[in-house]
Structure 1
Amino acid sequence: MAAQPPQTVRDLRRANRAVLLRRLWFHGPLARQDLIHHTRLSPGAVSTVTGELIEDGLLVEAGTLGSDGGRPRVLLRVDPSARQVIGVDIGETRVRVELYDLDLTERARVEVALTPGQHDPAAALAALADGLRTVTAQATAPLLGLGIGVPGVVEHGPETLVHGQTTGWRAVPLARLIGEFTELPVHIDNGATTMGQAELWFGAGRGARTAVIALLGSGIGASLVLDGAPYRGVGGSAGEWGHTTVQAGGRACRCGALGCLEAYVGATALVERYHELGGRDSGDGEEATLAAVLAAASPSSTADVTSVSAAQKVLEEAGEYLGIGLGNLINLVNPELIVLGGWAGLLLGGELLPHIQQAAARHALRHPFSQARIVLGELGPDAVARGAATLPVERFLSRGGVG
C-alpha cells in the first residue's frame, strides 16, 4: 500500500473548516463551546477557524445564550444568504428549475413543460437552458453550482453519461452538453437518488440508516440507503426497482421487458389501464388523469358508471402490485423505513396507504415486515430538485466553504 503524503497545515485547516461548517449547517445555531464539545477540536482551532469563516462571510452571529453565572454565549450559524444554488428535476413531462439559498430555502422556480411522449435530450436541454436563464437572473449571491436529477442510470466515469432505456437516452454526455450553455459546476445523479437525499436531510427519512425512498411518477425508481448513504451499485444502476418483475409474462413495459412493476404502477401504465377499461377523463395529461381516477373512485364521485368501475379496478390493482414490489424490497433490503414519494406516489399513497401496507404485509416475511415502516414523503413534488441542490452544497461543505 502506497504511503499517504503528509498532511500540510493548509490541508488540516481546510479539514477543520469542513468539520465546523458541516456541524453548523446541519445543527446550528451553536456556540463555540458547543462546537468544541461536538467536534473535539481544540478551543484554539475553533476560535481561529470560526473567525476565518466569519471573515469570509459564511458565518453570522445568531443571538446569545445565557449561561450559569458566566458571560452569555454567542451563537453562530451559516449565513443562508452567503451563497445560492440551483436544483433541477428533469422529468418525463416537465423540467423544473429552482433557485435556493444556502440553507435550501426556495427563492425562485420555473417549470417548462415537455411534449408528452417526446423525451429526447435536445428538448430537455432546451427547457433546462430556458429555466436556467430565468432563475440565474434572480440570483442575489454567488452560485455554488447546478445539481440535476434525471430519470435513468447515471454513469460517473471520465465523462458523466446518462442511460435512460425507457426514454431512449443512450450514453448521453449530459454534463458536457450542459457545459455548452453554462459555466456553473454541474452535478448529476438519478432523480430517485436525489429525492432520497432530500428526504434524508429534510423530510421523512431523517435519522434513518437503512431505508428505501421510492419515487413514483411516470416511471418507478428507488434510492437504496444503506448505512446512511445511497447505494449505487457497480455502474450506478442500483435502485431500478421499477424494472423488477412482478408478473411472469405480464404486461409489456417501456423498457422492453414483460411484467415489470412499472408496467403496473407507473403513472403512464395506470393511465393506459384506465383507458383500456373504458374510463373517461379530461385528457389534460398524466397528472390530471390520475387525479381524475382517484376522484372517480371516491364515494362522492359523479363520474359515469364505467369510469367509476375502471377507476376502482385500476386502484385495486395498483395497491396490490405496489404491495408486491414493497414486499420484495422488504425481503431483500430489510429496511427500517420505506418512503413513498414522487407526484404519483403522493397521490396514490394519500388515498391507498393502508391498502398498500396490507398488501406489502401479505407479500413480505413477517419478521422483516414488522421492522419496516411505510410512510409518505414529506417534501412534495419539488423533492427531486431540492435533493439535486444538495449535491453542490455537499461539495461546498466538504471543502470547508472553499470553491
Structure 2
Amino acid sequence: MAARNGRTVRDLRRGNRTAVLQRLYFDGPMSRFELGPATGLSSGSISNVVAELVADGLVEEAGTVESDGGRPRTLLRVTPASGHMIGIDVGETRVRVELFDLTLTELARAERPLEHHGYDVEIIVGHIRDGIAEVLAETDVAPERLLGVGIGVPGIVAHTPEQGAVVHGQTIGWDAVPLESLLRSTCGLPDSVPYFIDNGARTLGQAEMWFGAGRGARTAVVVLFGSGVGACLVTEEVEQGRSVEWGHLTVRVRGRRCRCGALGCLDAYAGAEALIDRWREEGGRPPEGTDEETALTAMVAAAYPPEGTGTDPVALAVLEEAAEYVGAGLSDLINLFQPERILIGGWAGLQLGTRLLPAVRRYAASYALRHPAERVCIDLGKLGPDAVTVGAAILPLADFFAHGGQRDAHGRGRHGERA
C-alpha cells in the first residue's frame, strides 16, 4: 500500500526505525518519553518501533532515570555488539585495517607498511585481505555478521554495475582499477557483506562531521593533507559529503610538476611528498631511508627547533611558502562554497597545522572575498590520524541506519550497487 506521497507503509516503518536508531545513537541513552519530541513520532509509534528494535537486538535497556512525580523511566541505547564494521585506510605509508562494534569502539586493528612496492595493486589487495583476516581472527567476529567493509582510497571512485567500485588514482598509477571485484575474489567474505569504497578525503569528512569538529555545521569543507591533498564538501544538499580534487587546483601557472603530471597544482606545493622534495632540492637534508611521516616530522623540527637550537632556513622558507599556497587554496573554497567551517586533517595536516594554522588563516582571509571570509571558521580536525579509518567504517554504518537497521534490506546487487 502506497501513501499519498508515494512512500509505502514499509518505507514509513523503515524511516521510523531510522529516526529512532539515529537519535539513540547520537543522543542516547534516552527514554521512550524523550524519543517522541526528539523524533517527531507519536507515543504509539515510538512504542512499536522500540519493541521491534529490542526484539532485533539493536536496542537495549540502559538503566532508569527519575521522572517528575511518576514512575522511573527506562533509558534505552543502541546495543554495541549488535553489529560490526571494518574500516580501512589505504594511505600513503601504510594500509590500516580496524574492526569496530556498532558504536564505533575499536575492537582490533592491523597495519601493513607500504615500503618498496608503493601502490602495486596486488600488494594493496593482499594487505587488505590479510588485515581483514587478522582483525576477525583476533575478535572471533563471524564474517557474516559484518555490516560492511568501508575503504578510503586516493583518487576518484566510480561505481559501475559490472565491476562495482573502480578507482581512478592518477597520482598513484591506478588507471580504472576494479578494486571491489579484486577484493571480492580475494578476501573470501560472504557475498552478503557489502563493500563501500570511496575517496579518503570523503571518509575523513564523514568522521569529522559525525563525531569531530564538524558536528552541527550545515556546510563544511574537510581537507586532507597527506602525501597529497584532497577535500570533502558537505552541504545541506550533499549531507553525506562529496570528494573534490582540491589538490589539483592550479595555484601557479607553469609551476612545479605535480604527481598527476600537470603543472602548478596545489598538491605540488602543499603535499608532504612535495614539501620534502622541495626541502631536498633547495639544499635541505631530509633523513635518508625513512618514510614520509618521519621525514616531515624532521622537517618541522628543523624549521621550528627548540629554543637555543639553530633554525634550518630552507625548511622554514618552504613551510612558510606552503602556508601561503594553502591559504590561497582555501580562499577558493571559501569563495566557491561559502562554508561555515573548514577543517584540516590527515596525518600531514595535523603535523603542520599546529605550526602553520595562524598563517594559513591570515592568507585565506587576505585572498578570499571579505563577506564569506568573515563567516568561516578554519580549524584542525579533532579525530587524529585514525579519522580516515573511522570515516570508512561510517559508510556501512550510515547505510545500515538508512535501511532502518535491517540487514536483509540493503537492496544491493552483487557489487554493492543499489538494486
Question: Could you tell me whether the CA contact under 8 Å between 1:339 and 1:376 is conserved in 2?
Answer: yes
More displaced stretch, 191-200 vs 83-92: 83-92
Which range moved further: 364-373 or 43-52?
43-52
Structure 1, residues 290-323: CA drift from partner, whole Å, max 9, x if none? 1001111124278777xx1221111111111111
Cα distance, 1:7 vs structure 2:
5.2
Q: Please point out which of 213, 224, 227 is paired with 1:215.
A: 224
Aligned to 1:258: 263
Distance 1:244 1:291 in 2: 26
Q: Which residue is 1:314 aligned to?
A: 318
- Note the C-alpha offset of 1:11: 4.0
Identity rate, percent? 55
Instruction: Find the partner of 2:330 among 326, 331, 336.
Output: 326
Whether 1:143 aligns to 2:149 is no
Q: Which amino acid aligns with 2:53?
A: L
Paired with 2:14 and 2:337, the residues of 1 have a C-alpha distance of 37
CA apart distance, 1:4: 8.7
1:4-403 superposed matches below 5 A: 9-116=9-116, 118-141=118-141, 142-158=145-161, 159-180=164-185, 181=187, 182-183=189-190, 184-227=193-236, 229-232=239-242, 238-283=243-288, 284-300=290-306, 308-403=312-407
Aligned amino acid, residue 290 of structure 1: L
1:339-373 alpha-carbon deviations (Å, 9 max, x no partner): 00000000110111111111112211222111111
| Aligned-residue offset at 1:157 | 3.0
- Please tell me whether the aligned partners of residues 117 and 123 of structure 2 are also in contact (alpha carbons under 8 angstroms): no
Q: Structure 1, residues 210-259: CA drift from partner, whole Å, max 9, x if none?
A: 11100000010000111161453xxxxx5100000111000000111100
C-alpha distance 230-15 of structure 1, shift in aligned 2 (>3 A):
closer
CA distance in structure 1 between the aligned counterparts of 2:392 and 2:384, rounded to whole angstroms: 14
CA 1:353 to 1:223, structure 2 compared with 1: closer, same or farther past 3 Å? same
The change in CA–CA distance for 1:70 and 1:334 in structure 2 (over 3 A counts) is same
Q: Is the 8 A contact 1:22 1:398 kept in 2?
A: no
- 1:296/1:303 contact within 8 Å kept: no
Encode CA deviations 1:177-211: one digit per residue, 9 max, x unaligned.
11112223211111000100100000011111111
SS for the counterpart of 2:157 is strand
Query: Does the 8 Å contact 1:296/1:302 carry over to 2?
Result: no
Dislocated runs of 4+, deviation >6 Å:
3-6, 301-305
Note if contact 2:279-2:286 (Cα within 8 Å) is conserved in structure 1. no
Q: Classify 1:370/1:251 alpha carbon distance in 2 versus 1 (closer, same or farther; 3 Å).
A: same
Please say if residues 206 and 241 of structure 2, whose CA atoms lie closer than 8 Å, have aligned partners that are also in contact: no
1:393 is displaced (CA, Å) by: 0.5
Is residue 90–residue 150 contact of structure 1 (8 Å, CA) maintained in 2? yes
Amino acid at match of 1:166: T
Q: CA deviation at 1:168?
A: 1.0
Take 1:4 and 1:381, find their aligned partners in 2: how far apart are those partners? Answer: 47
Aligned partner of 2:400: which letter?
Answer: F
TM-score with structure 2 setting the length: 0.90
1:144-200 Cα distance to aligned partner (Å, 9 max, x none): 110111100011232321100111111111111111122232111110001001000
Q: Distance in 1 between matches of 2:7 and 2:349?
A: 48
- The SS at the match of 1:213 is strand
Aligned-partner Cα distance in 1 for 2:339–2:11: 37
* 2:78 maps to amino acid: V
Structure 1 position 138, deviation (Å): 2.6
Counterparts of 1:140 and 1:10, CA distance in 2: 34
Deviations along 1:254-290, one digit per CA (max 9) or x if unpaired, are 1111000000000000010011122223221111111
Tell me how far 1:9 sits from its aligned partner: 4.5
**Change beyond 3 A, Cα 1:325–1:6:** closer
Q: Is the 8 A contact 1:154 1:160 kept in 2?
A: yes
Q: 1:262 is matched by which residue type in structure 2?
A: D
State the 1:131 CA deviation.
0.8
Q: 1:341 to 1:50 in 2, by over 3 A?
A: same
What SS does structure 2 have at the residue aligned with 1:111? strand
Greater shift after overlay, 156-165 or 383-392? 156-165
Q: Which runs of 5+ in 1 are unaligned?
A: 233-237
State how many pairs are aligned: 395
Q: CA deviation at 1:84?
A: 1.3
5+ unaligned residues in a row in structure 2: which ranges? Answer: 408-419
1: CA distance between counterparts of 2:37 and 2:264?
54
2:91/2:153 contact within 8 Å kept? yes
